Amino acid sequence: MGDTTNLNFAGSHILSIDQFQREDILKIFSTADMMEPYAARQSQTRVLEGAILGNMFFESSTRTRISFGAAFNLLGGEVRETSGFESSAIVKGESLKDTARVLSGYSDIICMRHPTEGSVAEFASASRVPVVNGGDGHNEHPTQALLDLYTIQRELKGSGGNLDSFRIAMIGDLKFGRTVHSLARLLCLFDPSRIVLVSPQELSMPGELVEALKAAGHEVVETDQLNEGISGVDIVYSTRIQEERFPSAEEADLYRGKFRLNQAIYTENCQPNTVIMHPLPRDSRAEANELDSDLDSNPNLAIFRQADNGVLVRMALFALIFDVVHLVDKHASELPWRSTRHNI
C-alpha cells in the first residue's frame, strides 16, 4: 500500500492512510510531540494567524470536529463551521464539487466528514485548498488512525514497547468501523507481532484489509471469542456497533452488547498493563456497553488520553500542510493566563 516516495505535506490533501510511508508517520508523530506545550497551555503560538479553517461536518461528530477546530485555534488560526446537511446548500441540490469550488474560496484549508464513502476525495478533487478527511462513510478516518497509533506509541513507552513489537486486538464492528479500517492500513507500515480481529463473523474486517495485513507480514487471527482474543495482547481497541450504517436499528440490535469489556473480564484475561483504547464515543447504553464504566479507575484506560492526543496530531498535520513546522516556536509567546485543566 502507498507509493514509495515520502509525502510532500505542504499543500497536500489528507484523504487516506495509503498516502503515507512509515517515515511520514514518524514525522507527524515528532511534530505532534513539539505541539505539547501549546496544547497544554504552557505557551501560545500564532503561527497560523489569519488562516481560516472551514470545518464541514455533514455527519454527527463531537471530538473530531471540535479537536480539528481547537487544533487550528491553538496554532492561531480561525475556524468557520457547517454541520449537518440542513444548514448547507446541498439540500438545494448543489453538487459536492460546486460546494467545494465555492467553499474553498472562503477558507485556506477544509476538514470534512460525510456519510458517503469516497465523498471527501470527490470534494477534494474540486477544492482549491487542501482537504482533510474527517471520516467518509465506513471507508476511512485517517486522522483518527494517526492519533490512535500515536497513542499506542506513547502508552507502550512506559512498558518499553514500541511500534514494531506489540500485540493488538481490535474488537467490535470491524466491517463498518472506519477507524479500524484506517488503523489496519496504518499497521501495514509497522511490524506489530500479532493482530487479533475480534468480531461477529457478519461484521468482520473487509477481506482486502485482512489480506493487506497478511501481505505486510503480520500474524493475523480472526475470532468471535472476546476472552480468547484479548488474552496476551498489549492493546485492546474496542469499537462501537456503527448502527447508523445498518439498514435498520433492529439489525444493529443483533450485535449490540456482544463484546463487553469490564474490569472482571479484563482482570481475568488481560495482562496487568494491557492498554484499553476506543475511538469514542463508547456506547454506554445498557444494551451495548462495550467498555464498562467500572474500567474508569483502571490506569490503563487510555481513552481520554487518546482523545487529547487528537489535538496534538491534528496540530501537527496543519503545521505540516501549511509548511510552518520550523516557525511554530518562533511565533510563540507567553500566555497571560493560566489553565486549570489537569491531566486524566
Selecting among 13, 27, 45, 64, the annotated active-site residue is 64
Q: Specify the residue, 39 or 47, whose C-beta has the smaller distance to ligand NCD.
A: 39
Q: How far is residue 278 from each of residues 143, 183, 238, measured CA to CA in Å? A: 14, 12, 5
- Least separation in angstroms between residue 176's CB and ligand NCD is 9
Q: Which of 13, 27, 141, 282 is catalytic?
A: 141
63 catalytic? Reply is yes
Q: Do 131 and 110 meet the contact criterion of CB atoms below 8 Å apart?
A: yes
- In whole angstroms, the minimum distance from the beta carbon of 291 to ligand NCD comes to 12
In the annotation, is 64 catalytic?
Answer: yes
Report the alpha-carbon distance of residue 230 to residue 125 in Å, rounded.
41
- Please list the residues that pair with 276 across neighbouring strands: 236, 301
Spell out the residues 6+ positions from residue 240 whose beta carbon is closer than 8 angstroms to its own.
Answer: 172, 173, 177, 278, 281, 282, 283, 288, 290
Taking the least distance from each CB to ligand NCD, the nearer of 167 and 178 is 178
For residues 86 and 326, the answer to whether their CB atoms sit within 8 Å is no
The four Cα atoms 62, 68, 74, 79 give a dihedral, to 10 degrees, of -90
Q: How far is the CB of 259 from ligand NCD (least distance, A)?
A: 14
157 is catalytic: no
Find cell 477544509 and name the residue: 110
Q: Is 278 a catalytic residue?
A: no
Q: Which C-beta is closer to ligand NCD: that of 61 or that of 231?
A: 61
Please say if 113 is a catalytic residue: yes
Write down the least CB distance from residue 61 to ligand NCD, Å.
6
Looking at the Cβ atoms of 218 and 314, the one nearer to ligand NCD is 314
Measured from the CB atom, is 72 or 76 closer to ligand NCD?
72
Q: Are 3 and 18 in contact (CB under 8 A)?
A: no
What's the closest the beta carbon of residue 95 comes to ligand NCD, in angstroms?
A: 24
Catalytic position from the list 63, 154, 178, 240: 63
Q: Which residues are at the interface with ligand NCD (CB under 6 A)? A: 63-64, 135, 141, 144, 178-179, 240, 242, 279-280
Contact 124, 131 (CB under 8 A): yes
**Catalytic residue (choose from 92, 330, 338, 342):** 92
* Closest residue by Cα to residue 126 from 98, 148, 145, 105: 98
266: amino acid identity, one letter: Y
Q: Which residues are catalytic?
A: 63-64, 92, 113, 141
